[in-house]
Structure 1
């Protein structure tokens, strides 16, 4: 499935003779999960990330995103799915089984703790992969340098509890399939509504582009 997701990435690159005229070839997906958490709160995050990737990577993402439920077959139409929120996360058995198939099959999940998700997302992910544990992603991992240099790890965008930004991952047979962003909130940095300084927003978008590029090139 790695070749499939790499092929989809190539489809996003504009042909030289038609650059700027191609219709969008891919969309991000936003995960609509149960449990009461505000899965919908980052209103413009994916729009802005798609626009940034198109500008800096030559991709051809649709600026609109799809909203998908974790148990839906539609999930498999989107190679990268984004999940965010402040609170509770509940995966049904059907949700967990479908997410597992999606991730093992080549899909990639970006999880952004908007503050307050941590005690809920960890057991939810255990339901998807009982045999795996979240592991901190080392600073020499290529996700930090795939396009822009972040040799010190994730940039710190929002303070939250004042702890260092951390990135955790689920690794299936050595392959990173889910990236969990903790104590920084890249998604708010991508969004419009927080009025973050330009430098912080740029770092958030650059790190987001790194994640997207890495996801397609795994």
Structure 2
């Protein structure tokens, strides 16, 4: 427990420092899900943000494991995949400490991870439910305006896209984008053959998420 308290203090001091570099990492998790899917997605989103909204994100995202102290080096974590997700108790505690101390996690369901994820998030924030963000939430009105809320990028089950969040002390610490599949829209054009306008919507929504975390 002393270790978690130390990490929390370190994170608060360093994340609050204006000179800290803007870093993003992919979250590697256990359970068999393909945490490594959409390999071109984050690099493309980073390039779009640096070119269009004035961020100075490192060109290459890092990779960190849920239970590693290294997650505290990254103000922004991104998680995706299609299948099973498992957090040990220690990993859940590490992630909870990270989020409560100032970190942010964006989880983009690449199709199929939602039921497993909900169960594991119960370990991270017991007795806390994911709540849907309304279309009036500031995350949809950052650099780009999404008056209807989260855009639909891939159909999957044909359900409406949802942006679900967990808040700590009135701060959005976790965003779960479901039935939207933003990451597929961030990938290289030839991967999914999405029309230009669909990729643009995905990248602009991704830029809004980045802006919300780094520029507010």
Cα distance, 1:94–1:3 mapped onto 2, change above 3 Å: closer
Answering whether residue 164 of structure 2 is matched by residue 203 of structure 1, we say: no
Describe the SS at the equivalent of 1:88: coil
Aligned 8 A contact 1:46 1:63 in 2? no
CA offset digits 1:186-212 (Å, max 9, x no partner): 011001121211101111010001001
Describe the SS at the equivalent of 1:116: coil
Unpaired segments ≥5 residues, structure 1? 13-24
Counterpart Cα distance in 2 of 1:172 and 1:182: 21
Q: Which residue of 2 aligns with 1:172?
A: 168
Aligned 8 A contact 2:81 2:109 in 1? yes
Given candidates 49, 52, 76, the residue that maps to 1:56 is: 52
CA offset digits 1:39-82 (Å, max 9, x no partner): 00110111011101101111111111111001101100010000
Cα distance, 1:217–1:63 mapped onto 2, change above 3 Å: closer
Deviant stretches of 4+, over 2 Å: 1-8
Counterpart Cα distance in 1 of 2:132 and 2:215: 20
Report how many residues are paired. 204
Aligned 8 A contact 1:169 1:180 in 2? yes
Q: How does 1:74-153 map to 2 (within 5 A)?
A: 74-153=70-149
Answering whether residue 41 of structure 2 is matched by residue 45 of structure 1, we say: yes
